[in-house]
Chains A and B, each alone.
Chain A
Amino acid sequence: MNEMTKITTTLKDWETDQEVRWCPGCGDYAILKAVQRTMPDLGADPSKTVFISGIGCSSRFPYYMETYGFHTIHGRAPAVATGVKLANPELDVWIITGDGDALSIGGNHTMHLLRRNLDCQVMLFNNEIYGLTKGQYSPTSRQGTQSPSTPYGSVDRPASPCAFALGAGARFVARGIDIHKGLPDVLKAAHAHKGTSFIEIFQNCIVYNKDVFEEFAAKKTAADTQLHLLDGEPMLFSKGEKGITLNHKTLQLEVVDVVDGDWEAAGVIVHDVTNRSVAHMLVEMQFGAFPMALGVLYDDPRPTFEAAVVAQNKAAAVGKQPDLQGLLNKGQTWTVTEDGPEL
């Protein structure tokens, strides 16, 4: 996001008069509320905020935010956002997308958005299914997913959104859960990061893929299944009885038991959000053998695309006048008078 004048708003200021059209019980409601609740905390200005989405259930999101909003076409929100931000770098741009929108039809744009590092927040609602088209498997669906288009189960392996993002050059990668109370903190961190902030949000599609994340999203078992990452804090879960360590022989992460709270003795890693190598391991950490890593996995800003473009445009224009007549007259010209041509 940009440095901007903070203004005072309430949750109500961020709600539109539009009837919300998601299925009752959809995880999208929780995400919408989390965002509407977070915006006043950020001191954000609705007039300077733009929500840009592609196509899919999640992409209806902008209609429900009392900000500027652009519901574009399937997969193209990152490209539209790039044009918006280059035309007016002062705007605070949020991209709302889904697993099909961002990683299938729009995969190319997502990759280049991250590579260029446009200053914006990307909220990828991952429900591992195509909801709006009635339940086909998606690029993040697990192998064997039965759906109308894969009645015998999908055979292709899923994409991992955070691994994709990091591989494409993301400088901020985070994970959250739709109904999780920690989501606003993730949003705040994303907003504070200057550059493309990529957030994967596990979102429950109660119609076509109900409770697909239940194994790690369920509150009852959360202590054992979720690893909440905090910068400068050890990577502990199961109420501090387990942690994540690096096996120095295999150079792979491992789960270790922590005895009597002595995580240092157990070799538990302290989370450093700027450590890109560890970030690569965290995004590849398979749930099952490991807990699901949540929170800010990686955060290490570097200059943004639009700042570089603006700087170059400025530098290239130094000492030049926007003289249209001069431009037209450029090169070798000759003058025709009543007497004929002369050089």
Chain B
Amino acid sequence: MATALKQEEPNNPNADGAENVVVRFAGDSGDGMQLTGGQFTLSTALAGNDLATFPDFPAEIRAPQGTLFGVSAFQINFGSRAIETAGDEPDVLIAMNPAALKTNVQSVRPGGLVIADEGEFGKRNLDKAHYDTNPLEDGSLAKWQLLKLNISQLTLDAVKPFGLGNKEALRCKNMWTLGLALWMFERDREPVVQWLKGKFAKLPDIADANIAALNAGHAYGETAEISGDGLGGGHLQHHKIAAAPAEPGTYRTVSGAESLSLGLVAGARLAGLPMFFGGYPITPASAILHHLARLKEFGVTTFQAEDEIAAITAAIGASYAGSLGITSSSGPGIALKGEAMGLAIMTELPLVIVNSQRGGPSTGLPTKTEQSDLYQAVYGRNGDAPMPVIAARSPEDAFYCAIEAVRIAVQYMTPVMLLTDGYIANAAEPWKIPDVDTLERFPVSFMTEKPEGPLLPYSRDANLKRPWIKPGTPGLMHRIGGIEKGVDTGHIEYGPANHQTMTEIRRDKILGVADSLPDQDLAFGKAGAKLCVVGWGSTFGPIHQAVSRASKAGRDVAHVHIRNIWPLPKNLGDLLKSFDRIIVPEMNTGQLKTILRDQYLVDAKPVNKVSGQPFTIAEIVSAIEENLS
């Protein structure tokens, strides 16, 4: 989604010959489906396709084998055109056991290809998946093309020479499957072979067995007689998807967690600051801590704190001492950090708080995606506690949003909330690597000289920013804290007029961030359209595709995607008022909708989905149609 020139994304080939294919790998959580998907993604990216992925896995690390709740799936949509979603319906499902078949087959496009490992369809596994009869035999899969392969046995045969135990040998199943998939789409095996050699450098037998399985799956496609129809209407065959048109440049695949981490490192360097990252393990945010922990040479200190509160307060302490303090969590952890955010607001210290949103409330759906922490981000603190909020729309965008969050934090001496979600964090996409010299620097200057008059730690510049004074600076000793501050002096001050003034200053400072933001643009269509679809965060892809489709069908629609949730861009109100109707698709029960109504008195209508799954394009297309009728 990051690379190609923006086009519409149909599920099937169309007139210009461009096409895309959606493949879903599904198996037990111990079957290595995420690895298979990840490697298939890399090979696909190297073939020049644009792509988007959707890893979907259970909260349990190794759920009991064969169970419905233990199914782990990885979906990839790739094509010779711009790809912005992981695809509504798989064209190909590879199901490693009955449970994987049962939980995934209903979403496969009618007529699509289902490949099942029949070696896993014994009575025991059928029972676990609550199948009374074997679906591979009873005709219940008639609306799809079914390809039964004994992947288990074929894998055992392939790895026999390596003398592995049965259990270890069967672990190579995913590589056999990957080999077949690589053959189906004419992908190069070499990058996978290199990856296996690296991963199992200390276990050459395991590496060789996996490579043998990979090659066997590939050879199977080439040589075996395969009955049934495959993609493109003929037999299962090579099906080359041409490279997508893309801007010249150097590319790699990147997940949201990775790009966001890189963006934070870049942001700290653009500000000229060492980074202090305080984190506490939580799904799906931990990946950011893991990435940063390996980047010490960039002046990054990571601190796994004793809890979420310590993670943010340590980051505040580090910011106080002159580092760029950053903390990261997901909804439940963000809730715990609430009081400390207020402290950062009151003491006016820079801080970036990353929220990788997941399904809530409470523990909710730890591994599933949702956008339901918007109220928490904008409003979720005691007192009048304004804070800038930015939301990333994709893995690529997360890199730039992270830099933007750092910029606002240091230029306004404020905590900034950066929203991403489980989908963005885990999904991978090709990324055009930026030239770091083109990234704008925003060096920080600390106050180091004693002023002529009294020291005023809460005096302000044109941005209403107060000076940043590091402890250790000779002669500038002063005290800060969470108690209300006197204007300019920063001394404890409870006076009524002072609190009124300080509250207004804190509000105006954050509203003033809007002066540094670009005008809200249109992602699609024109101002004054009959219907505008307004979105934020990871719903960008499906909304953009849906609006594009509706427009092609002759609808007068536009797409506005809001990145700066707070403060909102200055022209947004006028822009929204130009549309006859507004709908706001969100993976919550209508949070941005409420904010837009509140801020602009516009009749924004909610379109909501809270199933833990991203929107499909079709769902948004039908919402557009409903609201235009």
Contacts and interface: CB of A to CB of B under 8 A. Distances in A.
B310 A325 contact: no
Query: Contact residue range for chain A?
Result: 35 or more
B472 interface: yes
Given A62-B481, A68-B471, A329-B433, A86 B314 contact: yes
Contacts of A90: 472
B617 interface: no
Contact of B252 (A314, A317, A333): A333
A309 B301 contact: yes
Contacts of B321: 83-85, 87-88, 91
Given A80-B313, A91-B471, A325-B436, A341 B48 contact: yes
Interface string B232-259: 0000000000010011111111000000
B45 A334 contact: yes
Contacts of B157: none
Interface stretch (A42-50, A169-177, A223-231): A42-50
A88 B318 CA distance: 8
B181 interface: no
Interface stretch (A71-79, A122-130, A195-203, A291-299): A71-79
B557 interface: no
A236 interface: no
B561 to A, nearest CB: 25
A321 B315 CA distance: 25
B323 interface: yes
Contacts of A329: 250, 252, 433
Contacts of B246: 336, 341
Interface stretch (B291-299, B520-528, B534-542): B291-299
Interface string A200-237: 00000000000000000000000000000000000000
Given A87-B322, A87-B323, A341-B246, A327 B434 contact: no
Among A16, A46, A313, A332, max chain B CB count under 10 A is at A332
Contacts of B47: 341
Interface in B480-527: 480-483, 491-492
Nearest to A315: B296
Main secondary structure of the interface of B (DSSP, over half): mixed
Contacts of A81: 317
Interface string A100-113: 00000000110110
Contact of B249 (A65, A69, A70, A335): A335
B251 A335 contact: yes
B252 A86 contact: no
Task: Sort A-B residue pairs by CB-CB distance and give the 7 closest, nearest first.
Answer: A83-B317, A71-B481, A341-B48, A83-B314, A68-B471, A69-B479, A87-B321
19 contacts: A68-B479, A70-B480, A71-B479, A71-B483, A72-B313, A73-B340, A76-B310, A80-B314, A83-B278, A84-B471, A87-B317, A91-B472, A112-B310, A317-B296, A317-B297, A327-B298, A328-B266, A336-B246, A336-B249
Interface of B: 3, 42, 45-48, 191, 243, 246-253, 262, 265-266, 269, 274, 276, 278, 294-299, 301, 303, 305-307, 309-311, 313-323, 325, 339-340, 342-343, 347, 433-436, 470-483, 491-492
